[in-house]
């Protein structure tokens, strides 16, 4: 930290910095995810068919793919700057949605909000990787990732209450206002950037840096792993509602409860990373999680003979998956120490492609082979992810114990 950064304000503890950033991340996650449960309300407000809203969802998902270019920007210009830039996009997006009831402007606003998360996440994780020593990385990353489950269990329900009592437009302004507060507090909490990666002196180094994701074996192994497990998980996620309806004749209330159960499983998985991953070791934790989620996929068709046992099996799938992927974020912060945000943005990008493929694969398998075909495919892709990661991390060790 530069000397001038000490003169005007007190030094904020790193734990407090991560807490503030996690709350900001909660707002960004809510801004991206609320469109799913409230798609019918958006459809009525904009006077368009529901399919028009699902088209927005598809475009928002694509933002994670093009977000690969945000990583080198964070490594070049600084993590705090890019994190605050993500919040600015959320603010702008929500203001546009609140001010205009025209479909195409609403689409623009929601895409901006979604891209704000795409900017924020790798920058925050890279910042944690730069500040927290490797032996404690799992705890810090795991805590910050509770904002994902928190958006399901807290952010979206509270936004729903706001929509019910204040209306949709006012809720947009509320979320924009909270994001603006987050922008201010984050700027006061996290010190100004004083770390710049090698790109800061290499104006033409963007493609070279992105190319390192494919030329360095641990990074490539991590990317293949991220693609495979994303295909596996979204193949099941996209069809589990149809499975429940067809097999157990459930209503919308029950399906809604299953979403809460998944949110709780994600929270437990993220908490597991925070509490256990550092003690077990990050590599060992990831491989253990991959084995457990493979077993959970494989057993789901056999234990899912009743609604209760099916929900229990689904709970275990998402618990082990979330533990695995959040722990992989922690490990990913050390694979390219000089370009952490680039590594993580690449991971998010390839995982986004995997999710889109998973939606297609899951729908096809469900139509032709049912839940058994989907679960076998998910187990197979998870094993492929395990093998890719084992290949990538063979003989790999962290380059340093501490980040300064």
pLDDT digits (tens, 9 = 90+) for 121-151: 999 999 999 999 999 999 999 999 999 999 9
Cβ–Cβ under 8 Å, residues 64 and 351 = yes
The Cα–Cα gap between 376 and 364 comes to 13
Distances from the Cα of 400 to the Cα of 57, 132, 276, angstroms: 40, 11, 21
Q: Which residues contact 396 (CB under 8 A, 6 or more apart)?
A: 217, 218, 335
Single residue among 141, 171, 194 that ends a domain in this structure: 194
Asked, for residue 202, whether it belongs to a domain, the answer is no
Task: Tell me which residue of 261, 225, 224 sits closest to 240, measured CA to CA.
Answer: 261
**Is there a domain that residue 403 lies in?**
no
CB 354 within 8 A of CB 266: no
Answer yes or no: do 225 and 312 share one domain: yes
Which is more confident, 119 or 40? Answer: 119
Distance of alpha carbon 39 from alpha carbon 32, whole angstroms: 12
Please tell me whether residues 217 and 263 are part of one structural domain.
Answer: yes
- Whether 108 and 124 have beta carbons less than 8 Å apart is answered as no
CB of 271 closer than 8 Å to CB of 146? yes
Both tokens of 217, joined, read 């074996």
CA distance 57 to 107: 9
At which of 194, 228, 255 does a domain end? 194
State the Cα–Cα distance between residues 250 and 258, nearest whole angstrom.
10
Answer for the pair 74, 126: CB distance below 8 angstroms, yes or no. Answer: yes
C-alpha distances out from residue 95 to 20, 56, 91, 112, 360, Å: 22, 17, 6, 11, 34
293 vs 221, 356, 382, CA distance in Å?
19, 20, 8
Determine contact, residues 226/237, Cβ cutoff 8 Å: no
Q: Looking at the structure, do residues 250 and 147 belong to the same domain, yes or no?
A: no
Q: Same domain, yes or no, for 157 and 108?
A: yes
Same domain, 188 and 213: no
Nearest to 339 by CA among 220, 195, 226, 224: 195
Please name which of 184, 192, 263, 182 lies closest in space to residue 19, comparing C-alpha atoms. 182
Structural domain contains residue 273: yes
Quick one: pLDDT at residue 84? Answer: 97
Per-residue pLDDT at 170 exceeds 80: yes
Whether 229 and 189 map to the same domain: the answer is no
Q: What is the mean pLDDT of residues 368-384?
A: 98
- Domain range holding 332? 207-393
Q: Are 35 and 57 in contact (CB under 8 A)?
A: yes
181 CB contacts (<8 Å, ≥6 apart)? none
CATH assignment of the domain containing 117: 1.20.1250.20
388/223 Cα distance (integer angstroms): 9
Per-residue pLDDT tens for 278-332? Answer: 999 999 999 999 999 999 999 999 999 999 999 999 999 999 999 999 999 999 9
Distance of CA 178 to the CA centre of its chain: 20
Q: What are the Cα distances from residue 67, in Å, to 43, 345, 349?
A: 27, 6, 6
* Burial of 404: CB neighbours in 10 Å, binned 0-12, 13-18, 19+: exposed
The answer to whether position 81 is within a domain reads: yes
Q: What is the four-CA torsion angle of 153, 154, 155, 157, rounded to 10 degrees?
A: 80
> Tokens 């104006």 sit at which residue?
203
Residues 179 and 211 grouped into a single domain: no
Instruction: Look at residue 204 in the predicted model and tell me its pLDDT.
Output: 46
Domain-located, residue 344: yes
- Which pLDDT score, from 0 to 100, does residue 3 have? 39
Phi, psi of 46 (to 5 degrees): -90, -5
> Per the domain annotation, does 294 fall within a domain?
yes
Q: Are residues 153 and 243 in the same domain?
A: no
Same domain, 126 and 156: yes
pLDDT band, residue 205 (cuts 50/70/90): low
Q: Does residue 84 belong to any structural domain of this protein?
A: yes
In this structure, the chain runs to a length of 404
Q: pLDDT (tens digit, 9 = 90+) per residue, 50-95?
A: 888 878 887 887 888 888 888 888 988 899 999 999 999 999 999 9
Overall pTM surpassing 0.85 (yes/no): yes
- pLDDT tens-digit readout, 9-30: 566 899 999 999 999 999 999 9
**Domain stops at, among 194, 219, 236:** 194
Q: Per the domain annotation, does 86 fall within a domain?
A: yes
Question: 188 and 211: one domain?
Answer: no
- Same domain? For 228 and 376 the reply is yes
Total domains in the fold of the chain = 2
Q: Are residues 153 and 294 in the same domain?
A: no
């Amino acid at each position: 930290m530069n000397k001038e950064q000490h003169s005007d304000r007190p030094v904020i503890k790193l734990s407090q910095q991560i807490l503030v950033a996690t709350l900001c991340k909660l707002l960004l996650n809510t801004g991206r995810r609320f469109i799913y449960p409230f798609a019918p309300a958006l459809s009525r407000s904009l006077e368009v068919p529901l399919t028009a809203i699902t088209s927005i969802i598809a475009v928002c998902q694509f933002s994670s793919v093009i977000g690969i270019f945000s990583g080198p920007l964070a490594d070049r210009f600084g993590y705090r700057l890019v994190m605050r830039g993500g919040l600015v996009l959320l603010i702008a997006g929500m203001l546009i949605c609140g001010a205009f009831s025209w479909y195409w402007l609403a689409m623009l606003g929601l895409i901006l909000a979604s891209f704000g998360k795409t900017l924020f996440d790798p920058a925050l994780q890279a910042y944690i990787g730069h500040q927290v020593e490797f032996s404690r990385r799992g705890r810090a990353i795991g805590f910050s990732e509770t904002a994902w489950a928190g958006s399901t269990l807290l952010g979206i329900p509270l936004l729903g209450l706001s929509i019910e009592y204040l209306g949709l437009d006012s809720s947009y302004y509320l979320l924009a206002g909270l994001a603006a507060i987050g922008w201010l507090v984050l700027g006061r909490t996290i010190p100004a950037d004083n770390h710049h990666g090698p790109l800061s002196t290499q104006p033409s180094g963007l493609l070279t840096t992105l190319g390192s994701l494919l030329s360095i074996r641990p990074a490539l192994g991590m990317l293949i792993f991220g693609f495979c497990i994303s295909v596996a998980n979204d193949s099941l996620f996209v069809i589990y509602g149809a499975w429940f309806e067809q097999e157990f004749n459930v209503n919308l209330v029950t399906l809604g409860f299953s979403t809460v159960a998944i949110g709780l499983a994600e929270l437990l998985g993220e908490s597991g990373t925070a509490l256990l991953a550092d003690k077990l070791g990050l590599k060992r934790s990831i491989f253990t999680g991959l084995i457990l989620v493979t077993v959970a996929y494989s057993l789901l068709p056999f234990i899912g003979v009743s609604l209760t046992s099916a929900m229990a099996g689904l709970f275990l799938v998402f618990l082990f998956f979330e533990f695995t992927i959040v722990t992989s974020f922690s490990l990913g912060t050390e694979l390219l120490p000089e370009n952490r945000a680039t590594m993580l943005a690449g991971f998010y990008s390839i995982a986004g492609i995997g999710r889109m493929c998973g939606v297609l694969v899951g729908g096809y398998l469900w139509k032709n082979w049912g839940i058994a075909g989907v679960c076998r495919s998910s187990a197979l892709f998870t094993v492929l992810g395990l093998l890719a990661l084992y290949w990538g991390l063979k003989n790999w060790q962290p380059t340093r114990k501490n980040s300064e």
